[in-house]
Chains A and B, each alone.
Chain A
Amino acid sequence: MIHFEGVTKTYPNQSRPALESVDLDVEKGEFVFLVGPSGSGKSTFLRLILREERPTAGRIYVAGRDLARLSTWKVPQLRRRIGCVFQDFRLLPGKSVYQNIAFALEVIGKPRRFIRKVVPEVIDLVGLEGKADRMPDELSGGEQQRVAMARAFVNRPMILLADEPTGNIDPATSIGIMKVLDRINRTGTTVVMATHDAAIVDSMRKRVIELEYGKVVRDQSRGVYGQAY
C-alpha cells in the first residue's frame, strides 16, 4: 500500500535531512505506529505520502502509484484515497458536526443524496450518535477528534494517516479514539499513526516503526514504544 525506496528528504536551508534513506513497506490493512522524538521525521513521512512534499531522493509508491510520476493535477485524486487526522482536529468552527463531515464530500463533488446517506453512517461509526447538529465549540476534545476522524473516513479512503491524534486528549478519552481507529482499520483501511503516547502503543501491540534523526532505527511487528522513553 505504501512503499518507500531509499527516500531522503532535505528541506531547503537545512543541512541535516529530515528523512534519510528510508526503505519500508506498509501492507494493505496494516496498522502501523510511527514513533520517535520530535524532529525525528514522522511528520515529514506523512507529508511525503500526501505528496505535500516531494522527496529529495528515492521513490515513493502509494496505492500502487509512483508519486514522482503523478502529475500535479492528479494529486487531488491521490488525496481522495487518503484520510487525515491531526492533533489539532482542524474542524471548521462555523459548521456543525454534520456539515463538517459533509464538507469533505461536497468539495469533491459528491451528490447530495449520497452525502445524506453516508454522513449519518460515519457519525454512528465514530460514536457521535445524536450530536450531528452540535457545533465544534460545544464538543469536548475527544468528540471533536471523532468528528475529524469521521471526516477523514467518510470517503472510505484506503489509507488513514493520523498525526498524534491523541496529543491534545486525556488518556481516558484517548482509549475511545483508539477504538475508533481500530474499528476503521478493521474495515480494511490501512492506518499509519504517528504518536508519542507510549501507553497506547504498548496496549495495542501493533507494528511499530521507530524513527530517529530521520532514520528507521526499529521496525517491529507487534512492538512496544521502547524502553528509552
Chain B
Amino acid sequence: MTGLTENLDLLTPEFALAGLAFLVLAVDLFLPEDKKHLLAWLSVAGLSGLIVLAAVMLWGEDESLYDGLLAVDDYSLFFKIFFMGMGIFIILTSIDYVKQFLDHQGEFYALILFSILGMNVMAQSRELLTAYIALELLSFCLYVLVAYARKSPRSNEGSLKYIIIGAFSSAIMLYGISMIYSTLGVTRFDDISLALVGALEVSPALWVGIALLLVGLGFKISAVPFHAWAPDAYEGAPYPVTAYLAIGSKAAAFALLLRLVAEGFVPAIDRWDQWQLIISVLAGVTMVVGNLVALAQRNVKRLMAYSSIAHAGFILAGVAALTQDSQLASNGIMLYLVGYSVTNLVVFAALIAYFNISGKEMISDMGGLAEERPFLAACIAMGMFSLGGLPIFAGFAIKFYLFTAVAEAGFLWLAGLAIFSSLISLYYYLQVIRQMYIESAPQESPPESPATGELVGLEGIPRASLAASPSILLVSVLAIALAAVLWIGVYPSPLLDTIEAASRAILPGT
C-alpha cells in the first residue's frame, strides 16, 4: 500500500484538465465577443494534448492512489481517452451552434471541460464516495448546460426537471451508500466484494442499500422506470448538449457502473446471481419500453431520447451478463459504448448541421432532405441504420458482440428480447429515413412579415441567424465520424484489442 500522495503525478492529466477549464474561463474575460470561438479551439487543442499526454504517460500503468480510492489502470485510461476524444468532437460540433444561437460562449466550453473531468474521475474511482463526487461534478455541469438556452422556456423546463430528478436520485444514491457503509463498514469496491464473500448472512439493510445505489445509478443511465427526465431534458437542451447527454454522460455512468459491478459485486458469485436476475429484468423492461414509446415521437430530439433509453437497456443487459471468468460481457459493453457513441455523433452532428440551416427539429420538417442536402440525409440515414443494428455499420457488429455475450452468460431470453426490440426500433428509425428520402419537402407557408423579422421552428428562431449551408467544420466532423462508424462495423479488431486490455484491468479472470 502506497502513501496518500506518493504517486500523485499519475493524476497529471486530471490536474491539467482542471487547469485547462480554468484557463478557458480566464481567457474568456479578455476576449472580445466576436473572437469567443477561439475558446473552443483552445479547448480542442488542450484536450488533444491531454489525450497524447495521458496515452504516453499512463500506458500500461496499473497503480492505485489515495489508498485505493482511485485506480490508474488500462480501464481508466481507455475511458479517459474515449471521453476526451468525444469531448473534442462535441466541442467541434457545437462551435457553429453556440455562435449562432447561444450567448456566454466561454462558460459553455469551460463547463464541458469540467464535466469531462468529472467523467474521467468516474471511470477511475473505485470507491463509492469518490464516485459520487465525480458524478455530481458531471451532473452539475450538465444541469447548467441543459439550461444554457436561457431565453427558451423549453430549455428552462427541461433543466428544472433534470435538476429536481437529478438531485432526488443523488440523494437516493447517497442514502444507499450510507446504508452500505453502515452495514459493511467499507466503501471501497474491492472491500465490498470481500465483505460480501465473507459474510455468512447479509442483513436486509445491505440489500436495501445496494438497491438504492442501483436506483440512483438507474436514474443517471435513464433506465426504465427511472427515465422520465430524459425526454424533457433532451428536448429542451440546446442541440449539442442533447448530443452530449446521449454520448458522454451516459457512457460515463456506464463506466462507473461497470467498474462497480465488476469489482464490487461479481466476485461475490453467490450474491451476484440474485442481482443478475434483477438487473436483467430492469434491462428487459428498459429496452422494450424505450423502443415502444419511441414509436410515438414526432420530435427528433425526443425520438433520440427514447432511442438512448432503449440502448441503455441493451447495455444494461450486458451488465447483467458480467461473469467472473470471462471478459466477453465487459468487452461487449465497452465496444457497444464506443460504437453507440460514434454512431450517435454522426446522427447528432448531421442533425445539428440541419438545425443550423433550418432551425427545425420535427421529423415532419425533414421531408425532401435527401434532395436538398444529400450528404446530411445520407449521414442521418446511415446513422439510423447503424442504430437499428444493420451491417456494414457499427451498430451491427456491436449488437452482435454484446448480445452474444448476453446469451453466452445464460441469458438467451434476454438476448432474444433485445433482438426483438431491435426490430421495433428499426421501425421508427425507418420513419425518419422515409421522411427524408421518400416524402417531398413540406410546403413553406408564405412569410407574413419581411424576411428579417421572420421566426422559424419550435424555438422561434429569427431566420436571419440561420446559416446558409452546413459549415466545412461540421462536414469534416461528419466525414470522420462516418469513417469511424464504418471502421467499427467492418473491422473492429484493433479496437477490441485495446478493450480487451481494459477489461482485464477490472476483471482479471481466472
Is B one of A's binding partners? no
Residues of B near any A CB (own CB < 8 A): none
Residues of A near any B CB (own CB < 8 A): none
